Chain A
């Protein structure tokens, strides 16, 4: 183990890890390090509180007054090398991070139209994706102002801007496909506001290097010197395009199928449409029942695990404090149960509660208007954060999202929302109260990967350490 660490000081972390900023807009700027000396100088200024020319890296803290913008940085393995980190230090980073997202494509399901060969610039040149800066604000003017800073002085000298991606909320916490997002996250004892949310508290080592992990006795390697690795974490940054027309079309098609199937009446007894929503037609109500089953939450966020019959339970239920102890309420294959089975029985018993992900995301692209269908790209700018990409993000993507290994009843099927589905072979079981489920077939792939990178999110002291590397 590394040298003794002092008490945990959250203000040494970048601010977008243990909690979200909840701003309305985000801009990711992707850079190549072209002059390491200038790039390091810039990074050092940014990590040390910034100045008139350099935006400050935002640390973890509780705000009394929200700043105009927040600013954070992540580095790829190639980026750490380009900054001048030596081979011996680089060698201590985990293999999947060193390989980078592109070389893990098959494992992540990035095949076919999601394959890295199809990714647009700058992600078509992964070797030059070195640093991803994220600017968060409530309006475009602030994003522009920070971007201008990134195009002058040391930044302009040391870094080449390869591309940007803009995201923004269009309907509060609702995202494309019409679900409410940003509800559940791992909670940490070290963050005061997390105490009373009724969700299990996650060990700090689930998020950060250098702390106990959820796997008993197991610790991840902390790249040395300790200042470099300690309190750092990894982020799978993903640009995920969503086919909203395809998704809504699939709900239409399935509703038609259920209208014709006598078991549709078991799923939703005729006359009960009102409990799904006031004034809904039977077809519209069935669409919502299917949408809820695919996700594990009604579109308004209410979890099926607590309210399988209606999105508007009375009294209201918690959105976060639930489990899958009553196995039949939420489909085993539903997106949120697949990607976090919580306390449900799973095949990999020892891995229960250990593959958790911190999710920080924002939609991109305009809201889809079903009356004026278009082909504009829209989706999610997602960040899936944890102390180990292999044990968390990749384990979830490969074993759970795309193979369904955690429960024999879904093994061989993919996540209905996110998975690499092929309509010829895909299936999803809708549980019925009286036994045998209704098997839905023909799910296409609704989410396509359009870019991304594995990033290391260093602590502030680690950023300063990187800035202080001797010239190469």
Chain B
């Protein structure tokens, strides 16, 4: 804290000097441009400015999941990042979640096998949330629908532990609602490229630490939507479907 404010003060002094030399941009403008680094500003921004801004400029929570595309390579190995609030976030409640998963391991493997389009799936407890992260091929709704048809009962056991989950179980009889429910909890994937983030507000005069370089739409989105995925995930090799990999590795598909 103190080091940062000291450096901010120092920068102010330097700025005044620079202004004296250039004479073109007022020192106040420069202070404003560099403001985001100052702790006072950060406090105000978080508790006053951004909430006020968000109130003035309401944005909807962006749709979760990967963006729609027709490029085949982008339609395989897609990421699902579900963040689901536990009804009971106490250690007991979280232990129940751990048990619900562990009790169904065989069914989960059977499901992966019958659905055929999933690469990896894992469950993680983060604070009060149970997260399910997976990598799948093709369309999200088909993936979820096929899973319900295969191991709906496992979903039921897990979803029963989640805030708002009772409305969508048994999943086999609430397919559409359950798919929407999952979709609503799948994290928004922030565009992969900085250029995509910034293209609405290119401002050539912005400098390295300038607030003008931060994507405004993203700030507002993050105000409305605390958990997001940064990009759509990175692959170390071109996209292949799970079945293509199994086929090539001769492990049966």
A residues at B contact (CB < 8 Å): 1, 94-95, 106-107, 109, 111, 215-221, 346-351, 354, 390-391, 394-395, 398-399, 402-405, 407-409, 411-414, 420
A202 to B9, CA, bound (A): 76
B96-149 at interface with A (beta carbon < 8 Å): 113-117, 137-139, 141-142, 145-146, 148-149
A405 to B244, CA, bound (A): 9
- Are B173 and A348 neighbours in the complex by a CB distance under 8 Å? no
Count, A-B residue pairs, CB within 8 A: 113
- Are B142 and A351 neighbours in the complex by a CB distance under 8 Å? yes
- Are A390 and B145 neighbours in the complex by a CB distance under 8 Å? yes
Chain B interface bracket (under 10, 10 to 19, 20 to 34, 35 or more)? 35 or more
Given contacts A106-B68, A219-B173, A399-B138, contact A405 B149 (CB under 8 A): no
Extra contacts, 8 of them, besides A106-B68, A218-B145, A348-B142 (Cβ < 8 A), are: A95-B179, A218-B148, A218-B173, A221-B174, A221-B177, A395-B139, A405-B241, A413-B72
Contacts A/B (CB < 8 Å), 9 sampled: A1-B173, A215-B149, A217-B149, A218-B149, A221-B176, A221-B177, A348-B115, A351-B146, A411-B241
A233 to B54, CA, bound (A): 42
A409 to B138, CA, bound (A): 15
Chain A residue contacts of B114, Cβ below 8 A: 349-350
Interface flags, B58-91, vs A, CB<8A=1, else 0: 0000000000111011011000000000000000
- Are A407 and B138 neighbours in the complex by a CB distance under 8 Å? no
B155 to chain A, nearest CB (A): 12
- Are B247 and A216 neighbours in the complex by a CB distance under 8 Å? no
Chain A residue contacts of B73, Cβ below 8 A: 412
Chain A residue contacts of B241, Cβ below 8 A: 347, 405, 408, 411
**Chain B binding surface SS class:** helix
Q: Which residue on B lies nearest to A395, using beta carbons?
A: B142
Chain A residue contacts of B70, Cβ below 8 A: 106, 109, 111, 402, 420
A1 to B170, CA, bound (A): 11
Chain A CB within 8 A of B253 CB? yes
Chain A residue contacts of B243, Cβ below 8 A: 347, 405, 407-408, 411
**Chain A binding surface SS class:** loop
- Are A399 and B139 neighbours in the complex by a CB distance under 8 Å? yes
B239 to chain A, nearest CB (A): 9
Given contacts A408-B241, A409-B247, contact A94 B115 (CB under 8 A): no
Chain A CB within 8 A of B152 CB? yes
Chain B residue contacts of A216, Cβ below 8 A: 149
- From the candidates A1, A405, A409, name the one contacting B117 in the complex (CB within 8 A): A405
A439 to chain B, nearest CB (A): 16
Chain A CB within 8 A of B172 CB? yes
Chain B residue contacts of A109, Cβ below 8 A: 70
- Are A350 and B149 neighbours in the complex by a CB distance under 8 Å? yes
- Are A217 and B172 neighbours in the complex by a CB distance under 8 Å? yes
- Are B173 and A394 neighbours in the complex by a CB distance under 8 Å? no
Chain A residue contacts of B149, Cβ below 8 A: 215-218, 350-351, 354
Chain B residue contacts of A398, Cβ below 8 A: 138-139, 142
Chain B residue contacts of A409, Cβ below 8 A: 247
A218 to B151, CA, bound (A): 11
Given contacts A348-B115, A390-B145, A408-B243, contact A107 B177 (CB under 8 A): no
- Are A350 and B146 neighbours in the complex by a CB distance under 8 Å? yes
Chain A residue contacts of B148, Cβ below 8 A: 218
Chain A CB within 8 A of B150 CB? yes
Chain B residue contacts of A347, Cβ below 8 A: 116-117, 241-243, 253
Given contacts A220-B175, A351-B146, contact A107 B68 (CB under 8 A): yes
Chain A residue contacts of B152, Cβ below 8 A: 217-218
Chain A CB within 8 A of B246 CB? yes
Chain B residue contacts of A399, Cβ below 8 A: 138-139, 142
Chain A CB within 8 A of B163 CB? no
A90 to B138, CA, bound (A): 28
A270 to chain B, nearest CB (A): 34
Chain A residue contacts of B242, Cβ below 8 A: 347
A349 to chain B, nearest CB (A): 5
A226 to chain B, nearest CB (A): 15
A220 to B171, CA, bound (A): 11
Chain A CB within 8 A of B180 CB? yes
Closest A-B pairs by Cβ, 3 of them = A408-B247, A347-B116, A106-B68
- Are A408 and B246 neighbours in the complex by a CB distance under 8 Å? yes
Chain A residue contacts of B179, Cβ below 8 A: 95, 390
B36 to chain A, nearest CB (A): 36
Q: Which residue on A lies nearest to B253, using beta carbons?
A: A408
- Are A411 and B244 neighbours in the complex by a CB distance under 8 Å? yes
B200-253 at interface with A (beta carbon < 8 Å): 240-244, 246-248, 253
Q: Which residue on A lies nearest to B175, using beta carbons?
A: A218
Given contacts A347-B241, A403-B138, contact A215 B145 (CB under 8 A): yes
A216 to B148, CA, bound (A): 10
A391 to chain B, nearest CB (A): 6
Chain A residue contacts of B139, Cβ below 8 A: 107, 394-395, 398-399
A287 to B73, CA, bound (A): 31
A106 to B145, CA, bound (A): 20
A409 to B243, CA, bound (A): 9
- Are B246 and A403 neighbours in the complex by a CB distance under 8 Å? no
A215 to B142, CA, bound (A): 12
B140 to chain A, nearest CB (A): 10
A67 to B22, CA, bound (A): 89
A94 to B175, CA, bound (A): 10
A314 to B248, CA, bound (A): 39
- From the candidates A94, A219, A405, name the one contacting B172 in the complex (CB within 8 A): A219
A348 to B250, CA, bound (A): 18
- Are A411 and B68 neighbours in the complex by a CB distance under 8 Å? no
Q: Which residue on B lies nearest to A215, using beta carbons?
A: B149
A220 to B149, CA, bound (A): 12
Given contacts A217-B149, A408-B247, contact A349 B116 (CB under 8 A): yes
B80 to chain A, nearest CB (A): 16
Q: Which residue on B lies nearest to A105, using beta carbons?
A: B68
Q: Which of B115, B145, B174 has the most CB of A within 10 A?
A: B145
Q: Which residue on A lies nearest to B75, using beta carbons?
A: A403
- Are B253 and A218 neighbours in the complex by a CB distance under 8 Å? no
A166 to chain B, nearest CB (A): 31
A94 to B177, CA, bound (A): 9
A330 to chain B, nearest CB (A): 19
A194 to B219, CA, bound (A): 60
- Are A408 and B244 neighbours in the complex by a CB distance under 8 Å? yes
A349 to B118, CA, bound (A): 12
B14 to chain A, nearest CB (A): 50
A239 to chain B, nearest CB (A): 20
